[in-house]
Amino acid sequence: MTNGTMLILRGVQNLLHETPAKQYAVTMGYTPEVLNASGETGLYSAQTNLAIKRIINGHGDISGIYGFSGGGYNLVHIWARLGNYQKQIKKIVVLGAPNIIGYSAFAGCEDVEIFNNPYIAHMLQPDNFLELNT
């Protein structure tokens, strides 16, 4: 039994340690899918627009979103623009985006995790998060 697909958003310049991000999704019962878009941020950035298109046109298969760095910041924009499609998202994970400190940006989502370990190098946040959750 799967929880659906977890859409994984990369950071700026496509930076992401994909293996731990994918392993985390699998550990949580999701099928991982890395969005092919760099995480430069903005309300109408390429990654934000592509993620929304994928969620809306995915026939409800996307039920989790994992955002690293710029992808984590874009999650705030994605969530704000999803409207009624928010209800299909059951889990949100934000890593390495230290200015997102509250869960209010994702009001209505039943399971939100915001993680930033200041003692771990930025690029190693996905590795550290996986280690703490397995």
The string of pLDDT tens digits covering residues 97-130 is 999 877 889 999 999 999 999 999 999 999 999 9
Q: Does the pLDDT at position 2 exceed 90?
A: no
Predicted pLDDT at 132: 94
The string of pLDDT tens digits covering residues 56-112 is 998 889 999 999 999 999 999 999 999 999 999 999 999 999 998 778 899 999 999
How far is 8 from 23, CA to CA, in rounded Å?
11
Predicted pLDDT at 60: 87
Which tokens sit at 65? 């979103």
Q: What is the DSSP letter of 101?
A: -
Which tokens sit at 21? 């991000």
What is the model's pTM?
0.95
